[in-house]
Structure 1
Amino acid sequence: MKKIITLFVLVLAVYSCKLTDQKEEETEAGKPNATAKDSTVVNDKDENGCLASAGYIWSKVNKECVKGFSGIQLNPMDKPDNEDETLSAYVLFSEDAKQAEVFLPNDTTSIVLSRSAEGKPWIFKDWQLVPWKGYVLKKGAESKFAGDGEIGKKVTETDTEQ
C-alpha cells in the first residue's frame, strides 16, 4: 500500500509540473498575461526622441527637440489679431541667421529656408520669409502669415489697469 501511495504522489508531482510549464508556454506564445493586460505603456516619442505629447518637435536647424510655439509667432494674414496659437506659424533661426525654420499649423514637418545675404529674404522653393515690419511669410505672391518679430505668444488684452 505504501508503494501505491508513493507512486501516486510522484505521478501527481510530475503532472503538476507539466501543467505549470504549459501555462508559461501559452503566455510566451502570445496570450497576454495579467500584468501586461493591466498596464498601459504610452510611447509618443517621434523618430528623433521628441516627446510629442508635451509639444516638442524636432528642429532640423538647431538639431534638437524644441517647443514649436517658442519661436517667433506669425499670425494668419486674414486673422492678424489671432489668439489661437494652433492657427499660427512659428519661425526659429539658426545661430548665424542664414537659415529660418518654419513650423506651419497642422503640419508635422517644418520648412527650412535659406538666405544669401543679410537683408535678403529666406527662400525655399515657392516659400519666402521677408523681413518687413517684423516678418512676412509668403507662398508664391500670396502673403500667408505675418508677425512683429517678437518671440512667444502675444498678449492682446490685459486685466490690469494702466
Structure 2
Amino acid sequence: MKKISLLLMASIVLFSCKLTDQNETETEEENVPSAVKDSTVVNDKDEHGCLATAGYIWSKMNKECVKGYTGIPLNPIAKPDNEDEALSAFVLFSEDLSQAEVFFPNDTNSLVLKRLSEGKPWVFEDWQLVPWKGYVLKKGDEIKYAGDGQIGKKVTGSDTEE
C-alpha cells in the first residue's frame, strides 16, 4: 500500500510541475505584442558590415562604410537634368585628392581611379574622371556621367520672392 501511495504522490508532483511550466510559457507569449511575434530579424549587412537599408556602402578607398550618395553627384548623360538620385553616380575623393572613388547606381562595387598629378584626370583602365566644368566621367571616348562638382542635391528654385 505504501508503494502505491508513493507512486501516486510522485505522479501528481510530476504532472503538476509540467502543467505549471506550460502555463508560464503561454503567459509569456501572450505578453509579447503580435508585431514582435510575427516579425523576423532581417540581416541586410554586406560582407563588410555596412547597413544597406541605411544607404551605407563599402568604400575601398577609405576602408570603411560610407554613404555613397553624399559625394558629388554625376548625372547620366542620357538624362542630364536628372533629379532621381537613384540614377546618378557619386564621387568621393581621398584627402590628398590623389584618388577618386565612383559609386555607380544599382551596383555595390565601386571604382577607384588614381591621379598622377594635379590638373590631370583620375584614371583606371579605360575610365577617366576629368575635372572640366565640374566633373565628367568617361569610358573610353564616350562621356557616361557629368556633374557641376557641387555636393548634394541642387536647388533650382527659391522659396523667397525677389
Normalised TM-score (structure 1): 0.80
State the partner residue of 2:121.
121
Equivalent in the alignment of 1:99: 99
CA RMSD of aligned residues (A): 2.5
Q: How does 1:9-158 map to 2 (within 5 A)?
A: 9-11=9-11, 13=13, 38-158=38-158
Q: Which amino acid aligns with 2:121?
A: P
Residues 128 and 64 (structure 1), Cα distance of their counterparts in 2 relative to 1, 3 Å cut: same
Q: Which amino acid aligns with 1:74?
A: L
Cα deviation code 1:8-38 (max 9, x no counterpart): 2324556888x89xxxxxxxxxxxxx79964
Taking the aligned partners of 1:16 and 1:126, their CA distance within structure 2 comes to: 77
Structure-2 change in CA distance of 1:38 and 1:84 (3 Å):
closer
Alignment gaps of 5+ in structure 1: 21-33
TM-superposed CA distance for 1:62, in Å, is 1.6
Identity of paired residues, percent?
72
- Quote the Cα distance in structure 2 between the aligned partners of 1:116 and 1:92: 17
Distance, in Å, in 1 between the alignment partners of 2:81 and 2:109 is: 25
Segments of structure 2 that go 5 or more residues without pairing to the other structure are: 20-28
Change (3 A) 1:158 1:83: farther
CA drift of 1:161 comes to: 2.6
